[in-house]
Structure formats: C-alpha cells, structure tokens
Structure 1
Amino acid sequence: MLIIAGLGNPGGKYAGNRHNIGFMAVDAIQRRHSFSPWSKKFKAEVSEGEIAGEKVLLIKPQTYMNLSGDSVGEAMRFFKLAPKDIVAIYDELDLAPGKARIKVGGGHGGHNGIKSLDAHCGKDYRRLRLGIGHPGDKERVHGHVLGDFAKADQAWLEPLLDALADNAAMLVKGEDSQLMNKLALATGTKPDDDKAKPDKAPKAQSHIHQARSTQPKKLPATGPMADMLKKMFGNKGE
C-alpha cells in the first residue's frame, strides 16, 4: 500500500493558491484513476483506489499546512506503514515554475508542511516537489505562496497536472527518472536543469533562489483539467 499526500490548506479561500499545488496534484490523480469519492478520515480528505496493481490512499490534510504531519502520520500508523510507503507532493519555491524533482529524504528547505511530516513520519519518505518559482524578494514570499496562480500559469500548470495523473503508475512503481522525463516533456522544461537561477541572488538568502522565467510549450486548454482550472481561476490575470 502507498499513501500519496498532497499538501495544502483547506477551504475555498486557498483553493487556487500556489501553496496548494499538492492538493491540485492529488485531485488530478483521483479524477483520472476513478478513485472513491473524497471522505473524511485522519483529519483529512481521503480517497482510495488502485494504480498499477497497488492499493493507494490519496490524502489531503485538513489541518492547515503547518500541521500536515498530524494527519499523514495518523494514517501511516493506522495502516502500519513505513516512511518508504509515503509520497508527499508539495510546492517548491526553489524550482522554476513547471519544474519537478523527486527524491527520498532530505531537508525541509523551510517548508512548514514538510517540517511537520518529518516530525511525525520520519524523514525517509519520497518527496515530489513541484516548482512555483520565487518572487525574487524574501519579503514577497508569503504573498507569493498564498497568492493564486495567474491565468498565464495555466500554460504549464495544466500540462504538469495532466502528465502527473497520466503517469501516476510510474510514481507508484518508483520509476522516478522516467516520471521526471514525462513531466519535463509535458511542460517543455529540461529534466537535468535543477534549480531556478536568480537574476541577482542575495547571499543572505542563499537557501532560496529566485526562479528565472521559463517559456514552457503551450498546449490547448481543453479537457477536464482545463475546465477545473477555469472554474478555479476564472479569467483573472496577475
């Protein structure tokens, strides 16, 4: 069994936030693979299904981001799972928009949701980071992560979520390199270009890098994912 935890904040106020890309990712997987309707358990919304012959529990903690580990840890203990049986999907300031990276273990990078998971689940779980870019100024970070994706972001956000849902079997089977290639192909990014490079990086904030602008290939905004994003963001721009 595998737990795939998308991190975010509950409620309509936060639904379109960059910080909620983890919720968006598990929503996309849930729809694509005909999982059970969302129900409430473990201080979370959960949905059960099967991918590549493996039982999978999708989980969206409803504890707010900073306490995500309360929820995921409770589910892990209930099913008697180990950290290796957990995948956390979350936003990453340190990657340019549309980039994705996955690894086992590591630091929290200042992400409070990951701090909480580390405390409740241990550190040796898989972490799928989805880049949202950095605003370039430390003082603007809070507003950036808790701000909604702009209409222009749909050019990479929709293909990224679609590709993740389409290739969820790779995530379940641990085919991480293949998955990264699929996501990079869908968004027009390079799988070997790791971090967002700042135009000017203040040394005092060397742990956070300003995301450079990218030009991912644009795909037609059609299909269920496009409809979902249009409902979420409407026609607003910045």
Structure 2
Amino acid sequence: MKCIVGLGNIGKRFEQTKHNIGFEVIDYLLESNQFKLDKQKFRGAYTIERLGGEKVLLIEPMTMMNLSGEAVGPLMDYYNVDPEDLLVLYDDLDLPQGQVRLRQKGSAGGHNGMKSIIQHLGTDNFKRIRIGIGRPTNGMSVPDYVLQKFSKQEMETMNKVIEHSAHAVEDYVSNSRFDHVMNEYNGEVS
C-alpha cells in the first residue's frame, strides 16, 4: 500500500494559505475521486481507498505543520507502510510559484513539517512533491508569508499546480516507476 500525505496546518484560519498547499492537493484528490477522510487515529485524518486500482492511504495530519511526523509515523507503523511507499506533498519557498519538483528522497531543506516526518521515520528516503510558493518580497517575514492566503491571481496559477500535482500522485500510485513520473511532472506548470 502506498501512503500519500499532504502537509498543512489545521483550522479555518489556515485554509487556502501558502503553507497548506499539501492539504489542497489531498482535498483535490478526495473530491475528484469522491473519497472522504473518514477515519481519525494518531492525530491524523485519513482514508484508505483504491486509486488507479491500487490501495492507498491518504493522510492529512491533524497536528500543526511542525509536528506532522507525530501523525505520519504512527499511521505508517500501524498500517505497516514502508517509507519507500510514502509520498509527501508540501510547500517550498525555494521554488518559484508555479514550479513543481518531485524527488525520490532528500533533506528537509528547512521545512519543519518535513523535519518532523524525517525525525519520526528515522529516514529521509521517501518520495516528495515540492510545490513552489516563492519567497516573500517587500521585507515580509517568512512566517507571515507562508500563512498568507493566495491572491486571486495567484490562486489561478495554483489551481493548475494543484491539479498537476494530483495527476502526478495518481500516476505514481498506478506506475511504480517514480523516475518516469518525475520526468513527466517536474517543472513549471502552465
């Protein structure tokens, strides 16, 4: 079984913020496939469904972003999911808005949600989709920037990115060759 995790912060005030783009992709997958996060355990909302004929565990941690590993680690242990079958979707300041970068493994790159997952799993050997949100301008602090909602214009771009990322997830689930999925989906979304 593959495990797909979208990172974000819980609560109304964080909905549609830059930091919650991982949740947005999971929500897109849920809605387009008529799934619901109908279970809660270990501080995570999740469901187990068939996507592209494959069994998949979809998770949104119900922790704050920086504690995401507290939900992901125990759920993966409970369902006996190997880290090699994990794919995490999250925002990335170091990529321009509209860019998507899939990676087989790697460091947290300064992302506290990823640091938490790596710490709880004891490895960084899992797949990820980094979704570019760009860096703040005009002297805005990083925390203020990532907790800011997308503008209407930005949301037009990000809706395409969300759909693109969701298709990458679907292709990954049905195609075990992640390198092929990387080749297809890495880059700027237009």
- Above 0.5 in TM-score? yes
Q: Between Structure 1 and Structure 2, whose CA radius of gyration is higher? A: 1
User: Quick one: structure 1 residues 151 and 3, their matched pair in 2 at CA, closer, same or farther if it must change by over 3 Å?
Assistant: same
In 2: Cα distance, 1:71 partner to 1:30 partner: 19
Does the aligned pair in 2 maintain the 1:50–1:56 contact within 8 Å? yes
Q: Matches of residues 25-174 of structure 1 in structure 2 within 5 Å?
A: 25-121=25-121, 122-136=123-137, 140-172=141-173, 173=175, 174=177
| Cα shift at 1:126 | 0.5
1:124-151 superposed Cα distances (whole Å, 9 cap, x missing partner): 1101100000114776211111111111
Instruction: Give SS of 1:35's match.
Output: coil
Does the aligned pair in 1 maintain the 2:168–2:181 contact within 8 Å? no
| Cα shift at 1:110 | 0.9
In 1: Cα distance, 2:20 partner to 2:164 partner: 18
CA RMSD of aligned residues (A): 2.0
1:176-214 superposed Cα distances (whole Å, 9 cap, x missing partner): 5446635757x32xxxxxxxxxxxxxxxxxxxxxxxxxx
> 5+ unaligned residues in a row in structure 1: which ranges?
189-238
Does the aligned pair in 2 maintain the 1:98–1:160 contact within 8 Å? yes
TM-score, length of structure 2 as denominator length: 0.89
Look up the match of 1:181: 184
| Cα shift at 1:58 | 0.8
Does the aligned pair in 1 maintain the 2:10–2:62 contact within 8 Å? yes
In 2: Cα distance, 1:98 partner to 1:25 partner: 14
Amino acid at match of 1:20: N
In 2: Cα distance, 1:38 partner to 1:148 partner: 26
Look up the match of 1:20: 20
User: Quick one: structure 1 residues 179 and 104, their matched pair in 2 at CA, closer, same or farther if it must change by over 3 Å?
Assistant: closer
User: Quick one: structure 1 residues 37 and 136, their matched pair in 2 at CA, closer, same or farther if it must change by over 3 Å?
Assistant: closer
| Cα shift at 1:65 | 0.6
Aligned residues: 187
More strand by share: 2
User: Quick one: structure 1 residues 87 and 138, their matched pair in 2 at CA, closer, same or farther if it must change by over 3 Å?
Assistant: farther
User: Quick one: structure 1 residues 98 and 180, their matched pair in 2 at CA, closer, same or farther if it must change by over 3 Å?
Assistant: farther
Does the aligned pair in 2 maintain the 1:164–1:183 contact within 8 Å? no
More displaced stretch, 27-36 vs 171-180: 171-180
Identity of aligned residues (%): 35
Look up the match of 1:231: none
